Chain A
Amino acid sequence: MSEFLQQLLNGLSLGAIYALIALGYTMVYGVLRFINFAHSDVFMVGAFLGYYLGKLVPAGTWWGGLAVLAGAMIGCAVLGMTIERLAYRPLRGAPTLNVLITAIGVSLLLESTGQVVFGAAPRNFPVLFPVRNFAVGGLILGSNQLIVIAVAVVLMIALQLVVYRTKIGTAMRAVALNPKAAVLMGVNNDVVIAFTFGLGSALAAAGGILYALNYPSIDPLMGVMPGLKAFVAAILGGIGNIPGAALGGLILGTVETFVGGSQWSTYKDAIAFAILIVILLFRPAGLLGRFTVEKV
């Protein structure tokens, strides 16, 4: 029983990170109908920003950790908006495929630049928050695992409030529904889209830092696998659907952990992806998505 609970905790803390990254994929898809493949590399940049900012604050303090988290989120929000301005906005109105290929290009650019600037060898991520392990029965609760879950939940609630309770959130939903009609209603699409990228990238940065806290070895290609998993999580929950992305991330992280702890640990990723295929066979639009005919 304690093993089951421990695995559930491991799975939830991994899933919470997937969920944070998945939110970025899903928001951009909701507004622009394209997959921003550079998102997983913004996640990597977030972790590296955390690495450098972490050297400026005293290690293992609450305010230091939160300051680094905020700094990295702001830095990545700026990066996300810059990418949108330089790479995607000039292609607005072009076929989706063009933007998609540009996104892959931006992704490779960030990875290669990362290898030149940061070096390709893995680095040790600093300790940002106070570390403590709590033993409850046979269960060991790591403070980092709890921080990951707490920060993820807070950010997801904040995102939900932004999207449904603010003016810019209403504008985002309007653009997602019908961009042309939104313009006619006086919405400035450029601002809304830039804001969406900024918000998504900030969440990716938070994901990057939380990931690096739990697995403190960072390198410029660290975003590839979590990015892929988060993309899968977004599809699983129904791409374009914000609660769906969160749900997809949690399911994927938990399944992966339970398979990883079983005798089939070799097939951890294979089984996680096989579950995706099965779910999509029965619910092609994802768990919470609505089915719409889409021409690609």
Chain B
Amino acid sequence: MSPAPLLNRGRRLLGVATLLLPALALAAAPATPIRIGQFASLTGKEAAFGVAGRKGIELAVAELNAAGGVLGRPIEFLVEDIASKSGESATAVKKLIARDKVVAILGGNASSNSLEAAPFCQAAHVPMIAISSTSPKVTAMGSYIFRVCFIDPFQGAVLAKFAGATLHARRAALLTSASAPYSVGLSNVFRERFTAAGGTIVAEQKYTEGDKDFRAQLTALRSLHPDVIAATGYYTEAALICQQARALGLDIPIIGGDGWEAPQLLELGGAAVEGTYYSTHYSAESPAPEVQGFIHRFQAQRGGEVPDAVAALGYDAMMLLADAMRRAGTTDGPAVRAALAATKDFPGVTGRTTIDAQRNPSKPAIIVTVRNGRVQFVSAVLP
């Protein structure tokens, strides 16, 4: 991205001539940038994910370029906005591959977006690393599709166990976003695991992405007297669900998955999200040196802003890709794919990453709660 590495290289090659003949120096330097593309919702109701992921990737790219780039070439990072709309992911990925000739794709966040984009990456043999798509179906789309986060069968089991063992819930109610594959999948795993542990699912109510009225569903749930509500959708709806549940006098714990991980949950939910729990990929309160180092560098670049889990995952995705390209010694799709598949014990901010045969890492899940307007660490569950 920045011309600095080009000049350094030119100076080494041509010495003083560089100053006299900059054009020649540039022509002599073969360091064409490596283009990496991201597709993400930078606007709309899932914008928190896309924006956080981009910030994480940008930090990684800045650090990589400052250290001389990858394979001696600087990274050029391109991002396409999918505006939280279905159908846009495919267009964005096609554009990045065909027009911008990116060598790898990072993203998406919502599983539905990754499911849309994956076939195009697979067909073009461009490796794709999903940032926070937890549906198992995503990496099953093809051999070029990877991810850096845990998957929902694990997350659902963690949530079910937390509801039963820690919250002592016997009767759970599910509130599922029927239009999000992520939410449907997570609810199914939660139901399976919670019933297997002896609990009862009293009811499952459904809504659609973009709905604002949940009073009808919550009133129906209230009359069944659940001990806990699992709202497995995304943060915009989760915040409204918490508010309307509290307004209806439902004072039981409400829990969710990593789709809740966004600063907007606290902004939109206010006092109503106090005392709720959700599972996520990382906690900024972790004392681990790689986490604290990451937070420190992120804050230095972003004026003190504390990175959330999706930013950490975005950072890890970019670093994992750079590591794979170094090991492959090239940016060719098939070679990078093979190197990604062979990743073993890669030290990431969100935990050590070993890619398994299904192209998924196994990483710990963190349970957090909202207390006094802040997200606080509760427990970590190892896979």
Contacts and interface: CB of A to CB of B under 8 A. Distances in A.
The reply to whether chain A is a binding partner of chain B is yes
Interface of A: 2-3, 6-7, 10-11, 14, 115, 119-122, 124, 133, 135, 140, 142, 144, 211, 214-217, 219, 222, 225, 256-263, 265-266, 268-269
15 contacts: A3-B219, A120-B83, A121-B43, A121-B45, A124-B267, A133-B249, A140-B247, A214-B213, A215-B212, A217-B236, A217-B239, A219-B44, A257-B216, A260-B213, A265-B207
Contacts of A268: 207-208, 216
- DSSP class of A's interface residues: helix, strand, loop or mixed? helix
B86 interface: no
Contacts of A2: 223
A225 B210 contact: yes
Interface residues of B, number: 34
Nearest to B48: A121
Contact of A266 (B206, B222, B268): B206
B217 A265 contact: yes
A14 B219 CA distance: 14
Interface of B: 43-45, 47-48, 83-84, 178, 203, 205-208, 210, 212-213, 215-217, 219-220, 222-223, 236, 239-240, 243, 247-249, 264, 267-268, 270
A3 B223 contact: yes
A292 to B, nearest CB: 35
Nearest to A142: B247
8 nearest A-B pairs in the assembled complex, by CB-CB distance: A260-B216, A120-B43, A215-B212, A261-B220, A261-B216, A10-B215, A257-B216, A266-B206
Nearest to B269: A124
A3 B248 CA distance: 11
Contacts of B208: 266, 268-269
B268 A217 contact: yes
B49 to A, nearest CB: 11
A7 B83 contact: no
B47 A258 contact: no
Contacts of A261: 205, 216-217, 219-220
Given A124-B270, A215-B212, A6 B219 contact: yes
Contact of B216 (A10, A263, A266): A10
Given A10-B219, A266-B206, 15 more contacts: A3-B220, A6-B222, A120-B44, A121-B47, A122-B268, A133-B249, A216-B243, A219-B44, A219-B45, A256-B213, A262-B220, A265-B206, A265-B217, A265-B220, A269-B208
